[in-house]
Amino acid sequence: MAKSRGAIEVDVEKCKGCALCKEACPTKVIDLAKEVNGKGYNYAYMANPEACIGCTSCALVCPDSVIAVYKVTL
């Protein structure tokens, strides 16, 4: 199977830090930041970007549609 690399872009100001993306991620890429956004939420970010495979699981379960997924096949 062809290997793929992915990356996500989080709309930090709209993220509510619900952590559903962190739970859905099969490769444990996402974590909640220690810093907070303008609303006071610990937003999601890529803590382990090398492991991302661009599977879109995080974006599918995100209730606020703040995650955009990019993917390249190597």
Partner 1 sequence: MDVKDIIKKENFVYGKSKVLTDNPMHYCPGCTHGVVHKVLAEVIEELDIQDKTIGVSPVGCAVLAYNYLDIDWHEAAHGRAPALASAINRLYPDKFVFTYQGDGDLASIGAAEIMHACNRGEKQLTIFINNAIYGMTGGQMAPTTLEGMKTATSPYGRNVALHGYPLQITELIAQLPGTCYVTRQSAHTPGAVRKLKQAMLKAVKNTLERKGTSFIEVVATCNSGWKQSPVDSNKWMVENMFPKYPLGDMKDI
Nearest to partner 1 of 33, 71 (CB atom): 71
Report how far residue 32's alpha carbon sits from residue 39's, in angstroms, rounded to the nearest whole number. Answer: 14
Concatenating the DSSP letter of every residue in 21-52 gives HHHH-TT--EEEEEEE-TTS-EEEEESSGGG-
Per CB under 8 A, residues contacting partner 1 are 5-7, 9, 13-14, 16-20, 23-24, 41, 46, 49, 54-57, 59-72, 74
Cβ 64 to partner 1 shortest distance, Å: 5
State the nearest-atom distance from the C-beta of 27 to partner 1, in Å: 13
